[in-house]
Chains A and B, each alone.
Chain A
Amino acid sequence: MPPLLPPSLPDGPTYGVLARFAGPRELLHACERVRDAGFTRWDAHSPFPVHGLDRAMGLGTSPLPWIVLALGLAGAAGAMLLQWWVHVRAYPLVISGKPLFSWPAFVPVTFEVGVLFGALGAVFGMFGLNRLPMHHHPLFQSATFERVSDDGFFVSIESWDPKFDAQTTTRMLRDLGAVDVELLASS
């Protein structure tokens, strides 16, 4: 049986190369060059989202809004259905002479549940697309990578990229102005 999700990490002894850059500007320029060199299995890491980095990396748009829309509409429809079912099927009781399916009174709950499901879709959709939680990752072997949540700006190129070669890729990153470059093993 094939796995549910495609693998997210390269197999083989080498994970890839990790290079640290001095700041957001250096990171942005390096990403533009890595993108233009034709790499596909690589990433940038920064303590905060750097403006313009998505384009510099050549990333497409996030499909997240579609997940949110679908779940939000499903939640709203489900809430309306629940209220219809309660008042028309499960417990039909005439209250204040209103029809059993007095839908205008059901709008607030429909709206709220739609928002709830949309928000659930945004949060769990985001973590799902990001393959999080993933508490173990080869990048965490690096001692300098601790700085990614403080002041470190990194580019990582994974070994299963067709253009990857341990030596030439390391040299390319050095030429792009990386402060330090290290080769990481698969953990």
Chain B
Amino acid sequence: MAPTEENADCDPVRGRAPLILGGHDFPSITRAVCDPLERPTPLGWWAFFLPSLGLLGLLGLATGWLFWEGIGIWGLNNPVGWAFDITNFVFWVGIGHAGTLISAILFLLRQRWRTSINRSAEAMTIFAVMCALIFPGIHVGRIWVAYWMLPLPNQMSMWPNFRSPLLWDVFAVSIYGTVSVMFWYVGLVPDLATVRDRARSLLRRRIFGALALGWRGSNRHWQHYERAYLILAGLATPLVLSVHSIVSMDFAVSQLPGWHTTIFPPYFVAGAIFSGFAMVVTLMVITRQAFGMQNLITIRHFENMAKIMIVTGLMVGYAYAMEFFIAWYSGNPYEGFALLNRAFGPYSWAYWIMVSCNVLLPQILWWRKARTNLAILFVMSLVVNVGMWFERFVIIVTSLHRDYLPSSWDYYVPTIWEFLALLGSFGLFFTMFCLFVRFLPIVATAEVKGVLPQADPHHGEERVVLDVSKAPAREATT
């Protein structure tokens, strides 16, 4: 793609093509992000919101009937004591991890391209954690004893066991959710002030004024603010790695063949980032199109995300192979049986869906044409999410359904209520995301302004004239 007029204005310091296209300046970025919030609700938004709300209703139905009737409405049997509930939990927690990776880890690594997508990716994290937290809350069907998850004595004066990874998990995921909300809100404050200052109606001014906390862009404030943001990124990075490690210990600490492996923590973290980036791509393709943000969220962003997907996808593929290797190398017959049963037993269909979706099909992302083609990327993101859901299903159900005692072997088939709860969790996720894109600035305007070339106080001084034709022509126009 030939360099266009927009990217002829290379960053004079680094000589790289700018991150933001379309000749944006400070006010045009404000307008691009805030105008969609201030227009009347477009019809297309209802087309996404109402179906999402309908799915959310299904969640209410599925959980309501569950609380009334108990988990007998699910297809669980004797060896398979948990299946869809925990699969959905691990799936949703994993989705969240990409948001923190983008907001914290890429921030620490000074990947400035993250600024266009970090706000919506962080929102995605929060909504995914909300979806995840439903399942531990409902999975015993007795909502009135959900407080057993808290460090409180129950009605029998028994305390929870802090040696159990299940309790670690409660702490890890709820703290992860809390820290993600705080990180997101801190990032939002300057942009809420932008919406406040543009507001024309009193109600809007009051609401956003209250939320913006009286932010006035003071540099004495920015100084503490930037330090706080850096510290939060530094805290969120080990936190996010610990969360999915601890989730994996729900399985790895048990004695079950197929679960009891040391590779689980890094394997789960890689899988979490893999599926999370797939979900970010899914959401961003739609959001960018719907809001006309092609110049803020560019093909370069998608290409970078596709690269992260192929890296983490290969890690996941390596873990699949290594599980088999260790099963053979350990000489443990139970471990060997569990893995052979996983790939060739009654649930082999699920295993091969997982391998196809997570390892085989994503190899297409080696081609730049595939990474920069939004249609292919969108399909791949859906494929990866299907694959990653099946990964958790395979790990959980295939390891459980044939245990040490062949007389108790059974085949688990989910009922309609488990499917409805899964669909309903997507309803919650998309409902929240629709509300987010309607009412809050979906791009971090303050940060995006900061990566414009003219944000540098030395921009325009001793201008280095660059030969644009030699600059890497990676900015495919849209």
Contact = CB atoms under 8 A, between A and B. Distances in A.
Contacts of A149: 30, 190-191, 193-194, 196-197, 215, 217
A151 B213 contact: no
A48 B459 contact: no
Interface size class of chain A, counting residues whose CB lies under 8 Å from the partner chain: 35 or more
Q: Which residue among A98, A108, A140 has the maximum number of chain B CB atoms within 10 Å of its CB?
A: A108
Interface in A97-153: 98, 102, 105-106, 108-109, 111-113, 115-116, 118-120, 122-123, 125-127, 129-130, 132-137, 139-140, 145-151
Contacts of B220: 43, 57, 59, 130
A116 B194 contact: no
Interface stretch (A9-17, A23-31, A167-175, A177-185): A23-31
A51 B235 contact: no
Contact of A130 (B167, B171, B225, B459): B225
Contact of A47 (B162, B227, B446): B446
Given A48-B449, A123-B228, A150-B197, A91 B158 contact: yes
Given A47-B26, A48-B447, A48-B449, A148 B219 contact: no
Q: Which residue among A120, A129, A150 has the maximum number of chain B CB atoms within 10 Å of its CB?
A: A150
A119 B217 contact: no
A45 B218 contact: yes
B158 A123 contact: no
A30 B216 CA distance: 19
Contacts of B163: 87, 95-96, 98, 102, 105-106
Contact of B221 (A132, A136, A150): A132
Contacts of A82: 151
* B interface: dominant SS: helix
A119 B172 CA distance: 14
Contact of B213 (A48, A115, A132): A132
Interface stretch (B368-376, B388-396, B450-458): B450-458
B146 interface: no
A133 B450 CA distance: 24
Nearest to A105: B163
Given A91-B158, A108-B172, A140 B216 contact: yes
B452 to A, nearest CB: 9
A151 B162 contact: no
A62 B227 contact: yes
Contacts of A130: 218, 220-221, 224-225
B159 A115 contact: no
A108 B242 contact: yes
B172 A105 contact: no
B111 interface: no
B162 A28 contact: no
B231 A86 contact: no
Nearest to B243: A112
B198 interface: yes
B286 interface: no
A86 B159 contact: yes
A136 B214 contact: yes
Contacts of B222: 46, 49, 53
A157 interface: no
A27 B457 contact: yes
A70 interface: no
B219 A109 contact: no
Contacts of A57: 219-220
A101 B74 CA distance: 39
B319 to A, nearest CB: 21
Nearest to B167: A109
Contacts of A91: 153, 157-159
A73 interface: no
B223 interface: yes
Contacts of A59: 219-220, 223
A150 B30 CA distance: 6
B226 interface: yes
A50 B219 contact: yes
B178 interface: yes
B58 to A, nearest CB: 33
Contacts of B161: 95
A147 B219 CA distance: 15
B179 interface: yes
A16 B15 CA distance: 42
Contacts of B466: none
Interface in B159-204: 159-163, 165, 167-168, 171-172, 175, 178-179, 182-183, 185-186, 190-191, 193-194, 196-198
Contact of B231 (A28, A83, A96, A118): A118
Contact of A86 (B151, B221, B446): B151
B460 interface: yes
Contacts of B190: 47-48, 149
A68 interface: yes
B450 A48 contact: yes
A31 B219 CA distance: 11
Nearest to B460: A25
Nearest to A52: B457
B47 to A, nearest CB: 31
B224 A126 contact: yes
Please list the 8 inter-chain residue pairs (A to B) with the smallest Cβ-Cβ separation, ordered nearest first: A126-B228, A151-B26, A133-B213, A149-B194, A44-B219, A91-B159, A49-B222, A105-B163
22 contacts: A43-B219, A45-B216, A49-B223, A49-B226, A64-B228, A65-B231, A86-B162, A112-B172, A112-B175, A113-B175, A119-B178, A119-B236, A122-B231, A123-B185, A130-B220, A130-B225, A132-B213, A146-B197, A147-B197, A148-B216, A149-B196, A149-B217
Given A119-B235, A145-B216, 16 more contacts: A46-B222, A47-B26, A48-B455, A54-B219, A86-B151, A91-B159, A96-B163, A105-B162, A112-B239, A115-B239, A115-B242, A132-B215, A148-B216, A149-B190, A150-B30, A151-B25
